[in-house]
Chain A
Amino acid sequence: MKNRRLFQRGFLAFSSVFFAFPYLLMLLCCLSTDAGIKGNMLFGSLSTEHFFSNLSNTFQNSQFICAFFNSCLVSSIASAATLLVSSLAGFGFSVIRASWSKLLLAVIVFSLFIPEVTLVIPTFQLAKNMKLLSKYITLILASLSIPFSTFLFCQNRSRFPSDLIESAKIDGASDFCIYLWIYLGTMRRICVISLTISFLSAWNAMLMPVILVQTQEMFTISIYLNSVSSIWSDDYAILMTSLSLSTIPVLLVFFLFQKRNPSDPGFLLN
């Protein structure tokens, strides 16, 4: 019994180090200088002064600011649009009782299995033919994650019992009123999860934005970091600071929409 507990503790501690080590190292790099990182003198060169100079150097880079702003804009609009469209569809699926609605749902779920890699070339060609390359609208359309979100809403249909619809109808509410005032209210938790996941996937997207954006003013943070890493490796400290800054909004959204209690079903998005 004691051995077992010891083994468990040991394993958890070991894996915590495994998972946390890169984050710690990244923070240490932000506190260091270029010379310190390159010369394996990381621990000798730590100071908060370096941190502030790295930070101000990063923020003086107008490209970084622009890319950061673009990412914020595209991810927020895309996640809001995803929430709106998929919650409408989720409501539709719980109201329509016809058998063909199952078929439509299957069509939506099947699109989850189509890999992004397959869609890259045709999306690029279509956008090029319609002269939509390097536009916000293309980036936003490419960052939507509607199939997964709709699936999430449909999977949690049971949270919205049909009795609620019946009683609202007896009170004379229209379908749209039911959606706005009752459905969104009862599915609040799912809305938050859908918003978080679509924001995360829009922010972290890499392959689609890279091919759809060709001008520097439209770079999102992923493309910016990608382009910077291939041409400019002279200051590692600043690179590390930009990397850390680029992960902050995602972690912020993730923690903000977190349930507090680990035994809650909504904890950590599952």
Chain B
Amino acid sequence: MRKNRAHCRWKLLFLLPAMLTIVATVYVPLVYAFYLSLFGGRGRKIEYVGLGNYTKLMSDDMFLSSLVNSFIFTAIIVPCILLLGCLLAYCLWNLKSSAAKRFLSILYFMPSVTSPVAYSLFFKQITYSDGIVSGILKALHVLSDESSLLNSVAGARILISAICVWSWTGFYALILRAAIDNINESAIEAAEMDGASTSKIFRKIILPNISPVLVMVCILSSCSIFELYTEVALITKGGPGISTYTMALYLYRKAFVYVSEFGYASAIGIAVFVLLILVCLVIIIQKKVYGNEK
């Protein structure tokens, strides 16, 4: 018995490096973030304010509007990703030729391995008033001559959403395709034999079977939207006005651009973390309730 226990302790050494680095790079900073968020003031003049930063956060118009912006982005992006991802996954799954399957999968996956900085700068350049996309839109008379896509609130929001959809959908489509691959094929074949239409097979067999994966896609994509930083910081810089400001951008500006308010910025960070967990919980609970009704 004693020897066994000593043996177990020796095996702990395998876990040690991973635990140490995770604690040092994630949990220590997390606790430190909470500690920092208890201090207010700017620059070097800091003082203990308790939970004062959080009450200030609740009445901060900039924070609240960036929160609203995140919800607007979620409302546009998540349905687009789900719809496009499901259709892509289904069409890919239905495709007979394996070469085409491979080529298309790689093509759809490529945006999610491309560097966000690189594609953000690229999209910024082509949507500037002298960029290529602006030129095309002007030729089609969608845009007036003097303006650019980034000057209008709706234009900027649609642009950011379109870029996110472009870069994330491929990844989720492949996850969904793997889920469809795992469905028992005989059920689908039987339905086909009985003369069920494609849309009926899709609604009655495929969708219920991949619904756990759909929930996961919802959670993952809304998490990424709440953390959205690179695209907004590089393309719109939060503008026009504050219509594309996100919480991450606000945090960065508070801490590193204006007179640094590290305490307040940490409070924003903790708020983002709490919000993320709340969003995940809401999605999971809603799914459970909905599932029970059925």
**Judging by beta carbons under 8 Å apart, are B113 and A122 in contact?**
no
Residues in A with CB closer than 8 Å to B18 are 85-86, 88-89, 92, 108, 146, 150
Residues of B within 8 A of A111 (CB): 22, 26-27
Q: How many residues of B contact A (CB 8 A)?
A: 84
Which chain B residue has the least Cβ–Cβ distance from A71? B115
In the complex, the answer to whether A122 meets B29 with C-beta atoms within 8 Å is yes
B107 contact set on A, CB distance < 8 A: 16, 19-20
- Give which listed residue, A120, A254, A268, contacts B251 with CB less than 8 A: A120
Q: Mark A255-270, 1 if CB is under 8 A from B, else 0.
A: 1001001110001101
With contacts A16-B107, A121-B251 known, is A104 near B19, CB below 8 A? yes
Evaluate whether A85 and B119 lie within 8 angstroms (CB atoms) in the complex, with A111-B22, A122-B36 already known: no
Q: How far is B15's CA from A214's CA once the two chains are assembled, in angstroms?
A: 34
Residues of A within 8 A of B115 (CB): 203-204, 221-222, 246-247, 250
Contacting A at CB under 8 A, from B238-294, are 247-248, 251-252, 255-256, 262, 265-266, 269-270, 272-273, 276-277, 280
Please report the C-alpha to C-alpha distance between residue A153 and residue B30 in the assembled complex, in whole angstroms.
Answer: 25
Given A121-B36, A263-B98, A268-B105, A243-B11 contact (CB < 8 Å): no
Asked if A142 meets B25 with Cβ closer than 8 Å, knowing A114-B273, A121-B33, A204-B117, the reply is: yes
- The interface bits of chain A over 135-149 (1 if a CB of B lies within 8 angstroms of the residue's CB, else 0) are 000000110101100
Q: Answer whether A85 and B198 are a contact pair too, CB < 8 Å, given A25-B132, A96-B8, A229-B121.
A: no
Chain A residues with Cβ under 8 A from B84's Cβ?
Answer: 15
Tell yes or no: A181 within 8 A of B by CB: no
Asked if A268 and B229 sit within 8 Å, CB to CB, the answer is: no
State A240–B122 Cα separation when bound (angstroms): 7
- Tell me, rounded to whole Å, the shortest Cβ–Cβ distance linking A29 to chain B: 8
In whole Å, how far is B268's beta carbon from the nearest beta carbon of chain A?
8
* The residue from A8, A107, A123, A229 contacting B94, defined by CB atoms under 8 A apart: A8
Chain A residues with Cβ below 8 Å from B226 are 115
Binary A-proximity of B96-126 (CB < 8 A = 1, otherwise 0): 0010011011111111011111110111111
- Cα A42 to Cα B132 in complex, Å, equals 8
Q: Does A191 contact B (CB under 8 A)?
A: no
Q: A258's closest neighbor in chain B, by CB?
A: B106
A179–B252 CA distance with the chains assembled, in angstroms: 43
Chain A residues, CB < 8 A from B104: 12, 16
For chain B residues 10-48, which have a beta carbon within 8 Å of chain A? 10-15, 17-19, 21-22, 24-30, 32-33, 36
Is A229 touching B234 in the complex (CB atoms < 8 A)? yes
Instruction: Write out, one digit per residue, whether chain A residues 1-16 have a CB within 8 A of any chain B CB (1) or not (0).
Output: 0001000100110011
Known: A120-B251, A125-B36, A270-B174. 20 other contacts (CB 8 A): A12-B88, A12-B92, A16-B104, A19-B170, A25-B122, A37-B125, A85-B21, A88-B18, A113-B276, A114-B26, A123-B29, A124-B255, A175-B14, A204-B114, A211-B256, A239-B121, A240-B125, A246-B115, A262-B98, A263-B98
Binding site for B on A (CB under 8 A): 4, 8, 11-12, 15-16, 18-20, 22-23, 25-26, 37-38, 40, 42, 84-86, 88-89, 91-93, 95-96, 98, 101, 104, 107-108, 111, 113-126, 141-142, 144, 146-147, 150, 175, 179, 200, 203-204, 206-207, 211, 221-222, 225-226, 229, 236, 239-240, 243-244, 246-247, 250-251, 254-255, 258, 261-263, 267-268, 270
Q: Show 15 A/B contacts (Cβ-Cβ < 8 Å), sorted by A.
A: A8-B94, A15-B108, A25-B132, A116-B227, A117-B251, A119-B30, A121-B262, A123-B29, A125-B36, A146-B18, A204-B117, A207-B230, A221-B117, A222-B115, A263-B98
Q: Which 10 A-B pairs have the closest CB atoms?
A: A92-B14, A89-B18, A118-B269, A122-B29, A122-B32, A40-B135, A92-B15, A122-B33, A111-B26, A222-B117
